[in-house]
């Protein structure tokens, strides 16, 4: 980096002619939501955001629940608010622990298989046409349920008949993700975006790693040190991307553009889980009314790595003159660049949940539960890296930022769920649940002070671009034999996101759906075993690797959808 710093070798004074940003990030988000009304949208341009900045996407990720549990609860769509009796149901309704008159313990291993498909549209402003799909498959092992409930019989025939205590851990989200897409671009470039974003920053300030502790965006520092960007002229605040060239327009003005086609590639992998560990107490009153309470501890573990590459289709079109400190000039040609971003977050939260199940008439059950907002304390880490490669490897450069760390408090929303079920004696049962969660109540704040000014923008975005989401869960179980059951379930969830159209806030028609089925075996002794298979289809996600920075030339757009298949088996014992 000290040996060469590439520049355009024009030293006369002129007016820098750089294209202006098309719109602010928030305005871009509004535009995207208006454009994609029928599918889920998350603005996940991590390369286009300052490192460590919290977003609405982060808030939704940490708050959203995609319930797991035992194989029985999963196979029946987790429609257990009015049923109870299963350790997978305790997270949904604390009163469920008091339904059975016996104690039990369960252990549930699971294999999750993700199947993803992504399409790339390099120039949305020129042609609304996506390229061929890139597909990926990834599998991962997890343990979505483990726990025990102890039932203590009081000996009373009426009134308080039993009290239950338990500790149960149920997974409530799976962050497994694998996306890759590519396309050819002749309009915009990540390096050009970064140059536009960095305009006005004095390059003399960013050669040393000490400047990672300043207000200068880490993207700019890594981009400069890895030679993704450099000064355009003698002005230390004017930048040009390594993929760009300047054309003399006369009168001291220059147009900066992409000289030829580049191939762009985007990839992202993530994994992790969210668990609800509940400390439960329940009570059975006359076998007609069951009440319960949970002290819940949420555990969040999320890790993500992504990259963005640009490769010259014809390197001869990307001629670059290098000037060393003595003014000597050498010529080379740009080959490719890569920008990388890694991020992880872990945290713990606490909440309370209260619920009841009532049996007004024989066979009919109704239930309800309410969960308080969850106070999460999250620690996140991030790191950026950049690499530039030329046809002559002597000029190659790379840089990597320190590993950043930030701690903050995040309050996820309250939840309310109600349910109804009907049992047909020993033959089977049908059940239905409804759950409401208002994501507009999410909030970021500082942990050590009450100065939350740095979160005002994202908290405002949450109020504007998040709202209530609804979930319907259906389940059924048929006892074909006294010891053998067949089960099925269905889920549908609406989006917690919002967009504006003609100043009216609207909900995108984006749904997450799941179909499940399973089998159950119960011995005459204490042992029981259940098997479940569930397929979850997520709504479309649109990814923007970098923000729009040229008027009338939109940034690339990636259309992504994933499906997760879960194969779950529960081993349980009654005692």
Per-residue pLDDT of the chain (575 residues; tens, 9 = 90+): 333 334 333 222 222 223 333 323 333 333 333 344 434 444 444 454 455 579 999 999 999 999 999 999 999 999 999 999 999 999 999 999 999 999 999 999 999 999 999 999 999 987 678 999 999 999 999 999 999 999 999 999 999 999 999 999 999 999 999 999 999 999 999 999 999 999 999 988 787 777 788 888 999 999 999 999 998 777 788 899 999 997 777 776 778 899 999 999 999 999 999 999 999 999 999 999 999 999 999 999 999 999 999 999 999 999 998 776 677 888 999 999 999 999 999 999 999 999 999 999 999 999 999 999 999 999 999 999 999 999 999 899 999 999 999 999 999 999 999 999 999 998 999 999 999 999 999 999 999 889 999 999 999 999 999 999 999 999 999 999 999 999 999 999 999 999 999 889 999 999 999 999 999 999 999 999 999 999 999 999 999 999 999 988 999 999 999 999 999 999 999 99
> 571: how many CB neighbours lie within 10 A of its CB?
15
Rounded Cα–Cα distance for residues 344 and 62 (Å): 12
What backbone phi and psi angles, to 5 degrees, belong to 95?
-70, -15
Output the pLDDT for position 481.
Answer: 94
Output the pLDDT for position 255.
Answer: 82
Output the pLDDT for position 427.
Answer: 94
Longest distance between any two alpha carbons in the chain, whole Å:
98
Output the pLDDT for position 325.
Answer: 65
For residue 441, what is the DSSP state?
A: G
Rounded Cα–Cα distance for residues 7 and 240 (Å): 9
Q: Name the 3-class secondary structure at 360.
A: coil
Rounded Cα–Cα distance for residues 143 and 70 (Å): 10
| pLDDT tens string 505-557 | 999 999 999 999 999 999 999 999 999 999 999 999 999 999 999 988 999 99
Among 9, 6, 4, residue whose Cα is nearest residue 334: 6
Output the pLDDT for position 52.
Answer: 58
Output the pLDDT for position 45.
Answer: 44
Rounded Cα–Cα distance for residues 228 and 401 (Å): 14
Among 164, 388, 416, 363, residue whose Cα is nearest residue 278: 164
Q: What's the pTM value of the predicted model, to 2 decimals?
A: 0.88
> 135: how many CB neighbours lie within 10 A of its CB?
11
Rounded Cα–Cα distance for residues 569 and 575 (Å): 20
Output the pLDDT for position 43.
Answer: 44
Q: Name the 3-class secondary structure at 19.
A: coil
Among 294, 432, 285, residue whose Cα is nearest residue 359: 285
- Residue carrying the six token digits 């009163």: 95
Beta strands in 33-99 (DSSP E): none
- Name residue 302's beta-bridge partners: 272, 345
- Name residue 4's beta-bridge partners: 324
Burial of 360 (0-12, 13-18, 19+ CB in 10 A): exposed
Q: How far is CA 199 from each of CA 195, 196, 238, rounded to the nearest angstrom?
A: 6, 5, 6
Rounded Cα–Cα distance for residues 242 and 506 (Å): 41
Output the pLDDT for position 324.
Answer: 66
Rounded Cα–Cα distance for residues 297 and 319 (Å): 58
> 564: how many CB neighbours lie within 10 A of its CB?
21
User: Residue 216 contacts by C-beta under 8 Å, 6 or more apart in sequence?
Assistant: 201, 205, 206
Q: Which two three-digit tokens encode residue 411?
A: 């309050």
Rounded Cα–Cα distance for residues 62 and 346 (Å): 10
User: Residue 266 contacts by C-beta under 8 Å, 6 or more apart in sequence?
Assistant: 120, 179, 180, 181, 182, 306, 307, 308, 309, 543, 545, 556, 558
CB 81 within 8 A of CB 90: no
Rounded Cα–Cα distance for residues 363 and 367 (Å): 13
């Amino acid at each position: 980096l000290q040996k060469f710093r590439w520049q355009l070798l024009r030293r006369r004074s002129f007016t820098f002619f750089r294209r202006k940003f098309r719109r602010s990030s928030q305005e871009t988000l509004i535009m995207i939501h208006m454009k994609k009304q029928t599918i889920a949208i998350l603005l996940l341009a991590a390369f286009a955001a300052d490192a460590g900045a919290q977003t609405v996407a982060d808030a939704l990720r940490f708050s959203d629940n995609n319930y797991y549990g035992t194989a029985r609860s999963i196979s029946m769509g987790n429609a257990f608010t009015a049923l109870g009796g299963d350790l997978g149901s305790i997270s949904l309704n604390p009163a469920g622990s008091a339904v059975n008159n016996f104690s039990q313990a369960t252990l549930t291993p699971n294999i999750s298989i993700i199947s993803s498909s992504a399409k790339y549209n390099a120039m949305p402003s020129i042609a609304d046409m996506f390229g061929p799909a890139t597909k990926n498959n990834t599998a991962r092992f997890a343990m979505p349920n483990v726990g025990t409930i102890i039932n203590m019989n009081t000996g009373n025939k009426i009134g308080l008949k039993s009290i239950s205590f338990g500790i149960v851990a149920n997974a409530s989200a799976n962050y497994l993700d694998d996306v890759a897409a590519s396309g050819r671009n002749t309009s915009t470039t990540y390096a050009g975006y970064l140059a536009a974003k960095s305009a006005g920053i004095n390059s003399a300030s960013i050669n040393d790693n000490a400047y990672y502790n300043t207000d200068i965006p880490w993207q700019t520092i890594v981009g400069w040190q890895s030679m993704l960007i450099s000064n355009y002229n003698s002005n230390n605040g004017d930048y040009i991307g390594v993929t760009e060239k300047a054309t003399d327009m006369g009168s001291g003005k220059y147009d900066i553009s992409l000289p030829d086609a580049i191939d762009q590639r985007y990839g992202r992998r993530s994994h992790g889980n969210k668990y609800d560990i509940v400390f439960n107490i329940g009570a059975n009153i006359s076998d007609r009314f069951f009440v319960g309470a949970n002290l819940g501890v949420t555990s969040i573990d999320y890790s993500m790595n992504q990259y963005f590459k640009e490769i010259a289709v014809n390197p001869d079109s990307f001629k670059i003159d290098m000037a060393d400190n003595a003014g000597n000039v050498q010529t080379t040609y740009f080959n490719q660049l890569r920008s990388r971003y890694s991020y992880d977050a872990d945290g713990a939260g606490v909440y309370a949940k209260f619920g009841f199940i009532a049996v007004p008439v024989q066979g009919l059950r109704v239930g309800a539960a309410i969960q308080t907002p969850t106070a999460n304390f999250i620690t996140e880490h991030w790191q950026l890296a950049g690499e530039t490669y030329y046809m002559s490897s002597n000029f190659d450069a790379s840089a990597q930022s320190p590993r950043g760390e930030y701690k903050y408090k995040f309050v996820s929303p309250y939840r309310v769920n109600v349910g109804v079920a009907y049992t047909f004696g020993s033959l089977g049962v049908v059940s239905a649940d409804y759950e409401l969660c208002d994501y507009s109540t999410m909030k970021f704040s500082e942990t050590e002070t009450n100065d939350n000014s740095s979160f005002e923008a994202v908290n405002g975005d949450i109020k504007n671009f998040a709202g209530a989401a609804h979930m319907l869960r259906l389940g059924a179980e048929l006892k074909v034999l006294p010891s053998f059951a067949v089960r099925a379930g269905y889920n549908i969830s609406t989006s917690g996101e919002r967009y504006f159209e003609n100043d009216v806030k609207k909900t995108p028609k984006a749904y997450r759906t799941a179909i499940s089925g399973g089998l159950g075996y119960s011995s005459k002794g204490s042992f029981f075993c259940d098997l479940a298979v569930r397929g979850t289809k997520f709504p479309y996600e649109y990814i923007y690797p970098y923000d729009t920075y040229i008027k009338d030339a939109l940034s690339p757009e990636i259309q992504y959808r994933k499906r997760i298949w879960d194969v779950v088996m529960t081993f349980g014992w009654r005692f």
